[in-house]
Structure formats: structure tokens, C-alpha cells
Amino acid sequence: MAMRRAGVSAIRALCSSPNSTRHVHSTAGSKKIVGVFYKANEYAELNPNFVGTVERGLGIRDWLESQGHQYVVTDDKEGPDCELEKHLSDLHVLITTPFHPAYVTAERIKKAKNLQLLLTAGIGSDHIDLKAAAEAGLTVAEVTGSNVVSVAEDELMRILILVRNFLPGYHQVINGEWNVAGIAHRAYDLEGKTVGTVGAGRIGRLLLQRLKPFNCHLLYHDRIKIDPQLENETGAKFEEDLDAMLPKCDIIVLNMPLTEKTRGMLDKERISKLKKGVLIVNNARGALVDTQAVADACASGHIGGYSGDVWFPQPAPKDHPWRYMPNQAMTPHISGTTIDAQLRYAAGTKDMLDRYFKGEEFPLQNYIVKEGVLAPQYR
């Protein structure tokens, strides 16, 4: 889920390509908007700001219907007979979310003859076949920056949970046990440890800032260097060679988008070269790593702890090996869907819909595909 900075030439390319085959902005008349979100069920009424759900549908139903548009919301997104499939033929806008991803395949795009706009309520649009969307002339956009604070805070929490060996202690308490040695034998201070982030976009930079007070040795790898002032403030050192950086790290945090180039980048071979006992946090995308290689390395102790909220696929099946591997602190995909983040990405989605209806441009940083051109982080 980490967003990256685009160079001036890339931004201009994103704005100027002539390869559109469908209308970028809304044409006149009523539009059909379909949103795919997770269900809140019994939790729906516990918080009026719980908007990123089927029950509240980003809080935009009344606004959309007052303008004559049709708004369909569902959580049913899998298989040929699902609710989403029933609406593909005549929808104009599809709103999806990384937390309950509706996989927008090339096949689905072909079926959606009226589709003009794909919006991601949140950050990270890799559940969409972006090449197929670009070839079809669709606009793909997300609410850039909407949950970067939420994810960076969550990453810091997971680092501390792993470093301090928190979960065995928690399990002892709920199981009626008391064994200090069972926790303390692999609990450490964060101070003085080497932490490397693979990716230093919006989330990675926020994480570096939040780690600064812990007096760690901070490293980062990215396509380009961060601002020199931020480097000085955090003391973070740029590592151009990823394979040179990774073995130096006591803790590795993945903060890059999922592309064909980054898919499976942390594989068995790379894992074998990491420090024994390395701790890994991954709130970016599950498919960035080799699932079985991570499970095997956790079982052998080569990975001392693995924590994250992203899986592949999502939702994770009951037999997913990460559910049962030792020294894991996994959760469902929750880091970027705090109530605060939901309010931000709901507002951002509404703003882009409003601009779409009026034929106005979106904020430049929100575009993932525009007029046949992919944003730099997905190339």
C-alpha cells in the first residue's frame, strides 16, 4: 500500500497521453455507481463514523441519489454468480477497496462496456488489472495520502510487538500461565537496532520520522533518494543496492507497491541471505514475498518474527500457512482502515466523484491510470 514520488517528466506523461478510448469524465445523465466494501454486521451501529462498510457505503448514498444517480453497494465479489458480476454490464463507476478487494480482471473490464472510472477507496490499486484498464482507456484513481499515517503507525506498533516478543506474553495471560523466561529469552530493545525500509514513499518517510526517537540505525532503499533535509532529520542512510542493504538489517519493513517487478521480491534465496532471527513487517502487499518461503523460514527460526496485515489472496483461506507458522503477529487487512482513515478516504472518494460529474480533473497525485498511461510506481 506505499505510494511513491513521481518525477516531473512522468507526471507530464500521465497528463498528456492521447490514448484514451473511453470518456475520462462523466457524460450527461444518471450514472450507476457500484461500491464493493466489507460488511460491518453487528458492529455497524457501534460507531456512526464506521463509513467504509456495506452498511454505510462511504456515507455518500443520499448525496448520490439526490442527484439522480443509482448507487449499489455489496460485499459479494467472487465467482460468476456474485452480485458484482450482475452489475458489470451497465455500471459507469466501480468503487473498490484494498481491505476487501474486488479483483478487477481484464475479463471483467471487457464485460463492463459502460465503465468509465475505477476508484479505490484507500491506497493501492493492484487488485485492478492496470494494463487492461489502460488499454481500455479507463481512468483509475485512488485517495492518495488518505491512510498513510494509519499504516505508518501500525508498522511501528508491529515492530515493537516483534522486538519485545509481546505475543507469547499475551497468550500466557489469557491461558492462565506465568513464565517470564518464555518471553524474555528473545525480547530486545529497539534502540540500537538497524531498521531498513524497502520503499520510502509517503508511508516509508513517515515511518522513518517515527523511528527517529528510538535511536535506531535507519536505512532505506528506493528508486530515488528522499529530501536531503528529511535525511538529515532522521539520520536515514540511502542504500542504492537492495541486496546489499537487506543483510545489514535487524528489522526489515516492506513499503513498496505491488508490480510485476516487485512481486515475490522477497523469495527463498533473498531470505537465506538475511540475518538469522531477522524481523520482518509487511503492511504493503502479501504477494511481495514468497508465502511458503516465509513460513518455512519462520519455522526454522531464520526469520525471528513476521508481522503484517496483508495476505495473498485476500481474504486469506483458512489453510493459509501464515495462520499457523510460529513467531507471527498477523492480522486481517486493517492498518489503513482506522475510523480516521475511513473518513479521509470517504471524503476523497466523494470529491473525485463530484469532479467526475462536473468534468473536472482529479488531484494529480490520485491518478493511477489516466488516458492510457500508468503512474510511475506501477510501471
CA angle 258, 365, 93 (to 5 degrees): 80
Strands 117-120 and 278-282: unpaired
C-alpha cell read off for 318: 483458512
Strands 32-36 and 237-238: unpaired
C-alpha cell read off for 127: 487488485
C-alpha cell read off for 355: 469532479
CA angle 371, 372, 374 (to 5 degrees): 105
Distance, CA of 86 to CA of 77 (rounded, Å): 10
> Across the chain, where does the E strand assignment appear?
32-36, 70-74, 93-96, 117-120, 139-142, 194-198, 217-221, 237-238, 251-254, 278-282, 303-308, 328-330, 367-370, 373-374
Ramachandran sector of residue 371 (left: φ over 0; alpha: ψ -120 to 50; beta: rest)? left
Q: Which residues are catalytic?
A: 147, 285, 314, 333
C-alpha cell read off for 191: 534502540
Distance, CA of 279 to CA of 159 (rounded, Å): 8
Amino acid type, 67: Q
